Amino acid sequence: MNRKGILVVVSGFSGVGKGTLMKLLTERYGQYALSISATTRSPRAGEEDGREYFFRTREAFEELIANDQLVEYAEYCGNYYGTPREYVESQMEQGRDVILEIELQGALKIKKKFPKALLLFIVPPDAKTLLDRLRGRNTETEDVIQKRLARAAEESEGIEQYDYIIVNDDLEQSMELMHHLIESQHNKTDRNLAFIHQIQEEVREFVKGEK
Ligand code: 5GP
């Protein structure tokens, strides 16, 4: 069967627990590569350049755009965010499933460029949980929290454009569900046409030989 890497887009409101979920998934299964985005936002306490993000100035980011070094990019709450092309392409060629943790606009651009990409949207069990998590994180000012909540409301309008939702109630369960959804994608018939044709041919030959 075809085990070429799948492009997996993961979106979800700020504070929904995407980061923790991705960390758990990549630690548990070796088949995943987590893309590191470039951004113009400032690092939060504890974030390191090259680990959470490649932190760049606006000028440096615009250079990445001009040189076509990003698969997609978008503006989110006043900052640029974008996916570096080289890593995504090389990891997929090596058979890894590449996960892009990106927002709605970027997700839609990916779907257009890569129609076979799998789009997953993580939701909290309810809206209050989201606010509690965002506040509990203690990394953003109230003003930023308000901006992110407004953006969450906007993004919620786009959820139907994704392939699946994952309700992040229990981390372990959400992680396993995500893994199974990706595994199922590998078995889709349209991803395995060469293999299917080979089986069909073998069966035809076998039947001929039996006659
Ligand atoms: P944060 O500032 O909380 O790390 O990220 C803000 C939003 O930007 C999140 O929804 C995150 O998924 C999204 N994001 C992160 N990297 C990228 C990227 O490369 N492209 C796009 N379009 N969105 C991104």
Q: Strand 70-76's sheet: what is its strand order?
A: 53-55, 37-39, 79-84, 70-76
If you measure from the C-alpha of residue 204 to the centroid of ligand 1, how many angstroms do you get, rounded to a whole number?
A: 50
CA distance 107 to 92: 17
Q: Nearest residue CA, atom 1 of ligand 1?
A: 14
Please tell me the predicted confidence (pLDDT) of residue 91.
Answer: 96
Q: Which atom of ligand 1 is nearest to the CA of 109?
A: 22
Q: Determine the atom of ligand 1 nearest the C-alpha atom of 155.
A: 10
pLDDT at 211 over 90: no
Can you give the pLDDT at residue 57? 98
Q: Which atom of ligand 1 is found nearest the CA of 52?
A: 4
pLDDT value of position 149: 86
pLDDT at 199 over 90: yes
Kindly report, residue by residue over 47-69, the tens digit of the pLDDT: 999 999 999 999 999 999 999 99
| Residues contacting 71, CB < 8 A, separation 6+ | 82, 83, 84, 85, 88, 110, 113
User: Ligand 1 site: residues with CB under 6 angstroms?
Assistant: 14, 37, 41, 72-74, 76, 81-83, 101-103, 105-106
pLDDT at position 160: 96
Give the residue, 32 or 153, on which the prediction is more confident.
32
Tokens coding 107: 């997700």
Task: Tell me, in angstroms, the distance from the centre of ligand 1 to residue 61's CA.
Answer: 14
Cα angle 76, 82, 85 (rounded to 5 degrees) comes to: 165
Quote the ligand 1 centre to 94 CA distance (angstroms). Answer: 25
d(CA 208, CA 116): 36
Residue 84: beta bridge partners?
Answer: 70
Ligand 1 centre distance from Cα of residue 95 (Å): 24
Helix and strand element counts for the chain (H, E)? 8, 9
Mutate which of 49, 103, 148, 149 for ligand 1 pocket (most atoms within 8 A of beta carbon): 103
Q: Are 18 and 84 in contact (CB under 8 A)?
A: no
Q: How does pLDDT run across 186-196, given as a tens digit for each residue?
A: 999 999 999 99
* pLDDT of 2 strictly over 80: no
- Proportion of the chain above pLDDT 90, given as a percent: 78
DSSP type of residue 17: S
**Residue position matching structure tokens 């070429």:** 4
Nearest atom, ligand 1, residue 53 CA: 16
Which ranges in the chain belong to alpha helices (H)?
Answer: 18-28, 58-66, 85-93, 104-113, 127-136, 142-156, 171-186, 193-210
